[in-house]
Amino acid sequence: MAPSYSFIIITYNEEQHLPRLLHSIDGLNAPIFILDSGSNDKTMEIAGQAGATILRHPFVNHPQQWDFALKNFRVVTPWVICLDADQVVTPELKELLIKFKDEDHQQVNGIYFNRKNFFKGRWVRYGGYYPFYMLKMFRYGIGYSDLNEHMDHRFIVPGTTIIWKQGHILEENLKENDIAFWINKHNRYSDLVAQEEVERMQNIRRQTLKPNLFGSPDERTAWLKQLWWQLPRYVRPALYFSYRMIFQLGIFEGRTSVIFHFLQGFWFRLVVDIKIDELLKNKQKQASTNQISPFKFALKFVMLFLVLYYFNILFLGVTSPGNHYSSFLATHLNYIEGLRSLLLSCSALIISWLGFDVIHNHIDLLVAGKGAIRLAYDCLGLAIMSFVTAFVFAYPKKLRQKLMFLIPAILGIQLLNVTRLVLLALFWNRKANKVIDHHTLFNIILYILLMISLYFWIKHNHKSTVSKQT
């Protein structure tokens, strides 16, 4: 008879745990799929001896690891059972799985297993840890990993689910018998939980499940989480620990289990709250650093614009014949004359492509049968290029982002300038257009386009800054 389900297991250095789990499901005749995140012990050897199908994938967090497993293994059974390597199937649960038939569960999409959790060899019975139902078995292709969680992983199954109260999975991480391992592990987890809660405060992360106190076990957990997020930080760890100790009878546990409740219910939650405050303070500090001061920006912009604008005028003066004329600058570094020659050459080339006879020197452009235009200093666009350069460099942004906007902007200005010169040479009638000067009209159009471009550039910068802060 073809099996109704397959096992999927995620591993990382699980040579202590994996044989125990594989032994507990031996004889079920079910395919086994193992997703490993880079084990360097005997985990892969043990998995290979068990005949498991193996894939490897770098670990980011549990939700993403399970998502990869469900999407990349070639599962052919109608159901899957997803287990962690430190879990074990009890004989009672194994008996339920032996008797399981897909045709008997046609209206069901998911099954919750009852879990017993162990800490340092002791079953944690009270404090809300038993009974504890986990959705571990569901229809393949229907159930999926909840990616809206960083650390507190769960599967989601639309439709009907049932609970198997009899039979258990036993969860005992033998590595956690070393308390240093437990503390280091939960210190890493606290980073994920703190980041996740900050993202929920900023409404960029939401619960997938609909919270419902009287719904499924996971819907009830979602409801309790919403309550938790509304409680004041630093107070809620003490409230939660007291609740577990008194109302959930954790005080009746032995010393080892009370230590577990203190570490997991108080210490861990307190560390999370501390890290939430650190994250919020860092974001506020970053936001104040990135905040734009209108006065500083305006002052910087005006100063840069005046420096660039009057430098161009000064340079024009020393490269033109007169009292302060510099032959060296005029001959070797005359960028104004170079820009003028480039604009005239490009305009003449385009006009010739259009089939007109055209000639030009260093200042004039003559089109046969059309007339001539003279490219004066104020037609070069140096003022508007000074404006956009001053604005972009005054604005608080990284140099690379400034250059990525400024270079195309200047090229665009001169491309429009060449277009203007071509149109003037071919179509402009000075006698018929006395109402407005073509230079003024061009500047109006250019400044409008520039303002629109700067608006979207600033808007994009604001979105990028907010995205990084969140």
pLDDT in tens, 161-199: 999 999 999 999 999 999 999 999 999 999 999 999 999
Given a contact cutoff of 8 angstroms between Cβ atoms, the answer to whether 309 and 389 are in contact is no
Quick one: tokens of 346? Answer: 């490009």
Quick one: pLDDT at residue 1?
65
Under 8 Å CB-to-CB from 438, ≥6 apart: which residues? 420, 424, 428
Q: Is the pLDDT of residue 442 over 50?
A: yes
Tell me the average pLDDT across 80-88: 97
Quick one: tokens of 367? Answer: 């089109």
> How far is residue 424 from each of residues 348, 349, 352, 432, measured CA to CA in Å?
12, 15, 15, 13
SS3 39: coil
What are residue 113's DSSP bridge partners? Answer: 134, 164
What are residue 55's DSSP bridge partners? Answer: 35
DSSP 262: I
> 155-156 and 161-171 as β-strands: parallel, antiparallel, unpaired?
unpaired
Q: Is the pLDDT of residue 33 over 90?
A: yes
| φ, ψ at 29 (rounded to 5°) | 55, 40
| φ, ψ at 157 (rounded to 5°) | -130, 115
Kindly write down the DSSP assignment for every residue of 319-363, as one continuous string: TSSSTT--HHHHHH--HHHHHHHHHHHHHHHHHHHTT--EEE-SS
Q: Which helix (H) or strand (E) holds 186?
A: helix 179-201
Q: Is the pLDDT of residue 238 over 60?
A: yes
Find tokens 């840069």 and name the residue. Answer: 304
Q: Is the pLDDT of residue 466 over 50?
A: no
Under 8 Å CB-to-CB from 27, ≥6 apart: which residues? 94
Find tokens 């919020």 and name the residue. Answer: 280
pLDDT in tens, 340-379: 899 989 988 998 998 898 888 888 888 888 878 888 888 8
Task: Provide the whole-model pTM.
Answer: 0.64
Quick one: pLDDT at residue 290?
58
Quick one: tokens of 93? Answer: 């649960």
Q: Which range is least confidently modeled, 102-111, 239-248, 457-466?
A: 457-466
SS3 399: helix
> How far is residue 84 from each of residues 141, 183, 258, 452, measured CA to CA in Å?
20, 20, 25, 55
CA geometry: angle at 77 spanning 73 and 82, to 5°? Answer: 60
Q: Is the pLDDT of residue 8 over 50?
A: yes
Q: Is the peptide bond before 131 cis (omega within 30 degrees of 0)?
A: yes
Given a contact cutoff of 8 angstroms between Cβ atoms, the answer to whether 344 and 367 are in contact is no
Q: Report d(CA 374, CA 366) in Å as an integer.
A: 9
DSSP 31: -
Kindly write down the DSSP assignment for every residue of 278-328, as one continuous string: HHHHHHHHHHHHH---HHHHHHHHHHHHHHHHHHHHHHHHHTSSSTT--HH
Find tokens 């400034």 and name the residue. Answer: 402
pLDDT in tens, 276-322: 999 999 887 776 655 667 888 889 999 999 999 999 999 888 888 87
Instruction: Quote the percentage of the chain above a pLDDT of 70.
Output: 94
Contacts 24+ apart (CB under 8 A), 172-178: 172/86, 172/88, 172/117, 172/118, 172/119, 172/121, 173/17, 173/86, 174/16, 174/17, 174/86, 175/16, 176/119, 176/120, 177/120, 177/121
Domain 5-173: which CATH number of 3.20.20.140, 3.40.190.10, 3.40.50.300, 3.90.550.10: 3.90.550.10
- Other beta carbons within 10 angstroms of residue 426's beta carbon come to 17
- Report domain extents, the chain: 5-173, 179-288, 294-469
